[in-house]
Amino acid sequence: MTEQNLIEQYELYIYKIAKKFYNVETADLFQAGCIGLIKAYRKYKPEEGVNFMTFAYKYIFGEMYELTIKSRDIKLNKYYLKILRELEVARNELIQKLNKNPTLTEICLYTEIEESLATDVIMLTSQIISLDDEYKTINGELHIKDYIGTESNLDDQILINDSIETLNPLEKTIIDYRYFQDLTQTETANILGISQVKVSRIETKSKQKIKEYIVA
């Protein structure tokens, strides 16, 4: 089956999944879904006994989710992520102290964070789908973290995405092939026309850069 025929066969299925997202153009979501569908088709093994639509769902959904993250209007920086973490920690601590869900004002007084700043952070992050949301598949319920295979904490995921943006084009490509497309070092080297040793060296250097960015 050609890729075009594959897309035509599952076109309605892709659009159905796209309806789960917002603040991103449907046409862009469809294109992302097509990429996910093709990836799933290349990795699918009928002998494993898994329904193809069930297998393909996580790839289609994952590509759309990544697009949603990358397409947000305002890119959250590390300072905002720090504020978001402080608000969440404070909320959990106040629940224990007050035996109820605290108001935003109570959280801000507790953390000494200006309420206007907290409101801005909450408004920005509310544009992004929560990793705690659950969506139905034809095989039951799965969490988004199961679809995309990434960290279940949203601010951590954004921080990882931001850290990857600090890499040069070749480094980003190698990280993408190795960790998002599940290619081996040898497969990556063949595609890029370089040696496996060079891929290994750049991958190690890139992972160190990512680690240094995250812990900074």
**Are residues 67 and 84 both part of a single domain?**
no
Q: Is residue 130 part of a domain?
A: no
pLDDT of residue 73: 44
Q: Say whether pTM exceeds 0.75.
A: no
- The three-state DSSP-derived secondary structure of 164-209 is HCCCCHHHHHHHHHHHHCCCCHHHHHHHHCCCHHHHHHHHHHHHHH
| Residue 117 in domain | yes
Residues 97 and 195 in one domain: no
CATH code: domain of residue 174: 1.10.10
Burial of 164-178, coded b for 16+ CB within 10 Å and e otherwise, reads beebeeebebbbebb
Residues 66 and 82 in one domain: no
Q: Note whether 45 and 86 are within 8 A (CB).
A: no
Residue 178 included in any domain:
yes
Same domain, 49 and 104: no
Domain interval for residue 174 = 166-216
Q: What is the pLDDT of residue 126?
A: 56
In a domain, residue 118? The reply is yes
- 52 and 145 in one domain? yes
The answer to whether residues 103 and 51 belong to one domain is: no
In the prediction, which pLDDT does 31 show?
Answer: 92
Give, in degrees to the nearest 5, the angle at Cα 175 between 121 and 134: 45
| Residue 187, token pair as written in the block | 């497969």
Residue 193 pLDDT greater than 50, yes or no: yes
Q: How confident is the model at residue 33 (pLDDT cuts 50, 70, 90)?
A: very high
